[in-house]
Amino acid sequence: MDQDAGPVVRPYAMTQGRVAPSGGDFDLVAFVVATVPDLAPGVQLQPEHHAIVAAAWEPISVVELASQLDLSIGVVRVLLGDLRSAGLISLYEPPAATQPHDVDVLKAVVNGLRAL
Amino acid sequence: MDSVRSDRNGGSRIPVALKILIAGGFGVGKTTMVGSVSEIRPLQTEEILTGAEGADDVSGVEGKTTTTVTMDFGRITITEDLQLYLFGTPGQDRFWFLWDELSQGALGAVVLADTRRLADCFPSIDYFEQRGTPFVVAVNCFDAEPRFGPDAVARALDLDPGVPVVLFDARDQVAARNVLIELVEYVARRQYAGASA
């Protein structure tokens, strides 16, 4: 399998080797919203940062960002940390994991699945 | 949509995403199932090898500090505010660390089983039982194969009473969807039982 050989560019090259986002981690299903429509040219950020901001104009989850931009989750998290530090995104954490799932939500899921 | 964009800064609602894990042994039909019910896409989740886990023998490749894992990722949009994410979990044991993150706050899991190699799904079942993650067992019925009934499978897997076992064809969209419905209804039943106990 080609994928076994790993990516052509080392994934963390685009984060300058940083593997942990600044200011804490991002849940896979946390939602991200850009606070500006696009970054002003000249801001010291990489194309991938711009791509994230553009994709996050409407709320988008961390995992969806990674999939859509074809970047690994770990890399997306570091880049999101940069954007958060710069005040360019807002982060919305999912409800606490210990909370039971809302019965109405479960019903909505079943109804939604039936309608597929 | 323009309307959504103009709404946005007026406080558009943040959707809720629920996670469902699709687990099971290698080649049992995880990718097929995710693809049957959702628009499937690859997801890269390369991780750092810390050397502390002791899972990987890195002798000879000591310079390699990351390992790339590609997972299947599928999304089902229930409503504008509610999304269902399916994750086809990587089968190898050394990726348990990924499972930990995926199962955190997950709605539940589907453990796919193949009755020709039932033991392949033992690790998944052990994992979810230990974590208390609700799961259903879905037997992927391949063509021209002797079939066992759900009860026989439940006994063979020594499942706790009440854990649903369903027979299905992972290629069939309706059948795969019904497995997900079975899981969500089971989660609701468990929750109800827990609340009234």
Residue B49's pLDDT is what?
A: 60
Residue B10's pLDDT is what?
A: 43
Q: What's the CATH code of the domain at B189?
A: 3.40.50.300
Residue B127's pLDDT is what?
A: 93
Residue B7 within a domain: no
Domain tally, chain B: 1
Percent of chain A with pLDDT over 70: 84
* Residue B172 domain boundaries: 13-196
Is the Cβ–Cβ distance between B110 and B125 less than 8 Å? no
Q: At what angle do helices B173-196 and A103-114 cross, to 10 degrees?
A: 160
Instruction: Locate the chain B residue with the closest alpha carbon to A20.
Output: B48
The partner residue sitting opposite B177, judged by closest CB among A63, A108, A113, is A113
Residue B110's pLDDT is what?
A: 98
Residue B133 within a domain: yes
pLDDT tens per residue across all 197 residues of chain B: 443 444 454 456 899 999 999 999 888 999 999 999 998 888 988 766 655 444 455 455 555 566 678 889 999 999 988 999 999 987 666 677 788 888 888 999 999 999 989 999 999 999 999 999 999 999 999 765 667 899 999 999 999 999 999 999 999 999 999 999 999 999 999 988 877 65
pLDDT per residue over A6-53, tens digit each?
Answer: 556 677 888 888 878 887 788 889 999 999 877 666 567 889 999 999
Residue A42's pLDDT is what?
A: 59
Measured between CA atoms, how close is B19 to chain A, in angstroms? 8
Where do the structural domains in chain A lie, given as residue ranges? 2-114
Picking from B44, B76, B174, B177 by the largest number of A CB atoms within 10 A of its own CB, the best residue to mutate is B44
pLDDT per residue over A81-97, tens digit each?
Answer: 999 998 999 999 887 65
Residue B3 within a domain: no
Residue B2 within a domain: no
Picking from A12, A104, A116 by the largest number of B CB atoms within 10 A of its own CB, the best residue to mutate is A116
Residue B142's pLDDT is what?
A: 76
Cβ–Cβ below 8 Å for B19 and A29: yes
Mind giving me the DSSP string for chain B? -HHHHHHHTTTPPPPEEEEEEEEESTTSSHHHHHHHHSEEEEEE--EE--S-S--S--TT-TT--EE--EEEEEEEEEETTEEEEEEE---SGGGHHHHHHHHTT--EEEEEE-GGGGGGGHHHHHHHHHHT--EEEEEE--SS-----HHHHHHHTTPPTT--EEEE-TT-HHHHHHHHHHHHHHHHHHHHHHHH-
**Stretch A48-76: mean pLDDT:** 93
Cβ–Cβ below 8 Å for B8 and A33: yes
The partner residue sitting opposite B188, judged by closest CB among A6, A97, A103, is A103
- Return the H-helix or E-strand segment holding A57: none
